[in-house]
Amino acid sequence: MNPAEALERLAAPFPLQALEWRVVRLSPDRLSAQVRPQLRLGAVRERLDAVFGAAGWSNAFAGVGEGAIACTLSCQVAGWTLHRSAVAARAPQGDPESTAESAFVYAAEALGMRPPVSPAHRPWVDYNPEAGEILFEPDLATLSDASEASAAPAPPRADAPRVPEAPREKPAGQRAIDRLIDRLRAEGKGRAVAELVVRYGGYGNDPATAREFYAQLRSLLLDRSNPDEAA
């Protein structure tokens, strides 16, 4: 395998399961976040292992400026060394680990590993400042090239490395709802929670309904009236 072939294998399409959304900017009130589509860290590592072997690539980090981190990826193939570097600005949450992960993924993008949604798409979504995470992921149907990728993905080459399609964890919004429900039940408001779950059909059938459901749960949490009477 020569460098050109290695780069071609790195650029093989990734499934939507390899996609995640990273916060790049917060609104002044910290209730909204601008997010960027990028590959999950595990998906990048698995692709590098598949193409170069676990011992055939390495990475190095360095601090740059005010909280920014630079990452250099080095890959060995057929006596050649491929180097790609990228810099990630400090994560809005101030988390160095998150910033380093983004720098690593950006360097992988420079090697041709692109997410299944164009990085040019940077929508705004609801944000939970207490948990430090977005409430709901962007609707892929509203992103033109994402819907095209989902509807008609390019067939991978026969020798292209495969990324295992492990079950995806719940979206951040559903996890936030689960935490609220657990707190409300612990406060003895299980009956009121059950009524809301039935009214909204679980997490809600669409992002707007889910946000309304979340707001109702928050209101219930702030309501310090008597808990449900024991059955």
Kindly write down the DSSP assignment for every residue of 14-45, as one continuous string.
PPGGGEEEEEEEE-TTSSEEEEEEEE-HHHHH
Query: What's the confidence (pLDDT) of residue 86?
Result: 92
Rounded to whole angstroms, the Cα distance separating 204 from 209 reads 5
Query: What's the confidence (pLDDT) of residue 192?
Result: 83
E-strand stretches of 29-167: 32-39, 57-64, 68-77, 80-88, 124-128, 133-134
Is there a single domain that holds both residue 176 and residue 123? no
Task: Work out the end-to-end distance of the chain between its first and last CA atoms, rounded to an integer number of angstroms.
Answer: 69
User: What is the rounded average pLDDT for all residues in the chain?
Assistant: 80
Looking at per-residue pLDDT, the higher value among 160 and 210 belongs to 210
In a domain, 143, yes or no: no
In a domain, 141, yes or no: no
Per-residue confidence band for 11, with pLDDT thresholds at 50, 70 and 90: very high
Nearest to 98 by CA among 14, 17, 23: 23
Is there a single domain that holds both residue 12 and residue 84? yes
Query: Any bridge partners for residue 82, and if so which?
Result: 75
Query: Domain boundary residue among 131, 153, 187?
Result: 131
**Residue 165, SS3?**
coil
Query: What's the confidence (pLDDT) of residue 87?
Result: 92
Rounded to whole angstroms, the Cα distance separating 124 from 198 reads 29
Per-residue confidence band for 49, with pLDDT thresholds at 50, 70 and 90: very high
Query: What are the strands of the beta sheet with 19-26, ordered from one edge?
Result: 19-26, 32-39, 124-128, 133-134
Is there a single domain that holds both residue 82 and residue 195? no
CATH number for the domain harbouring residue 112: 3.30.390
Specify the range with the lowest mean pLDDT, choosing from 25-29, 73-77, 154-158, 199-203: 154-158
Q: What is the pTM of this model?
A: 0.63
What is the count of structural domains for the chain? 2
Q: Please report which helix (H) or strand (E) contains residue 78, including its range.
A: none
Range of the domain at 216: 169-231
Is there a single domain that holds both residue 13 and residue 72? yes
Is there a single domain that holds both residue 127 and residue 173? no
Looking at per-residue pLDDT, the higher value among 1 and 225 belongs to 1
In a domain, 173, yes or no: yes
Is there a single domain that holds both residue 177 and residue 105? no
The answer to whether residue 41 scores a pLDDT higher than 80 is: yes
In a domain, 231, yes or no: yes
**How many alpha carbons lie under 13 Å from residue 62 in its C-beta half-sphere?**
8
In a domain, 116, yes or no: yes
Q: Which pLDDT tens digit goes with each residue over 129-184?
A: 887 888 888 877 766 544 444 444 444 454 555 545 444 556 667 777 788 788 88
Is there a single domain that holds both residue 175 and residue 86? no
